[in-house]
Amino acid sequence: MFRRRSANADLVDPDQVAADSSEDQASQPRPGWTAPKGAPTPKRSEAHANRRQPYQAPTDRKAAAKQSRQRTQQDRVRRNEALQRGEDWALPPKDRGPVRALARDVVDSRRGLGEYYMLMVVVLLVLLFLPGANTKIIADVVVLALLLVIVAEGWFVGRKVKQLAAERYPSQSTRGVTMYTLMRGISMRRMRVPKPRVNRGDKI
């Protein structure tokens, strides 16, 4: 009636039984679990670490100085290219804003006498060094007439820019725009910065 317990039953460790049970449960696939295809799926931290390329600081001062010069040169080239294109962030304060951009477009869309000012000045300087009183008098008169024409032209263009700015950008200030158009107008077209973005004859 009473059966005798075996010696092996007394030697079973309860902790070992619990551990085996846990391993069996862990080995069973969870709902929604997908078996790996030949290789274990990397952890998210490992994937980020593989994609990330940390900055390697130079080990000596000479390499650090060279790297700094390269970065400075690249920034200078990028800023100069943006300046030539007329991007607002790269422009000096006097060239920023929609009104100044409008003034540049108006000046660049027309052919004015002012853009030949430098060439005329060179010719007049040559005439001043030639012998003869009559030559110097003629050169002085031509210089004065040229200056009057350029100032009148700058005033006319500046007035036109102010009228367009009042229609398109009523909240923007037009202070100093006449002098701005005058100074751009006396610059040769190929030497203007930012470079013209409109052609001669375009309607602004």
More confidently predicted of 26 and 162 = 162
- Asked if residue 164 has pLDDT above 80, the reply is yes
Per-residue pLDDT at 123: 80
More confidently predicted of 97 and 3 = 97
Amino acid at 169: Y
In the chain, the N- to C-terminal Cα span, in Å, equals 114
Note every long-range contact of 178-182, with CB atoms under 8 Å and residues 24 or more positions apart, other chains counting. 178/154, 179/154, 180/94, 180/100, 180/103, 181/103, 181/106, 181/107, 181/154, 181/157, 182/114, 182/150, 182/151, 182/153, 182/154, 182/155, 182/157, 182/158
Per-residue pLDDT at 97: 94
The span from the CA of 198 to the CA of 71, in Å, is 33
- Asked if residue 158 has pLDDT above 80, the reply is yes
Average pLDDT over every residue of 180-201: 93
Residue in the structure block whose two tokens are 């422009």: 91
Question: pLDDT tens digits, residue range 55-72?
Answer: 566 667 888 888 888 899
Q: Which residues contact 55 (CB under 8 A, 6 or more apart)?
A: none
| Helix, strand, coil shares, percent, the chain, to 5 | 65, 0, 35
The span from the CA of 104 to the CA of 96, in Å, is 11
Average pLDDT over every residue of 159-181: 95
> Which pTM does this prediction carry?
0.64
For the ranges 66-75, 130-139, 152-161, 179-188, the lowest mean pLDDT is seen at 130-139
Residue 123 backbone dihedrals phi, psi, to 5 degrees: -65, -40
Per-residue pLDDT at 99: 96
Question: pLDDT tens digits, residue range 79-122?
Answer: 999 999 999 999 999 999 999 999 999 999 998 888 888 888 88
Contact 102, 161 (CB under 8 A): yes
Per-residue pLDDT at 66: 84
Mean pLDDT of the chain, nearest integer = 78
Average pLDDT over every residue of 173-185: 94
Contact 71, 170 (CB under 8 A): no
For the ranges 46-50, 80-84, 100-104, 172-176, the lowest mean pLDDT is seen at 46-50
Cis peptide upstream of residue 54 (ω within 30 degrees of 0): no
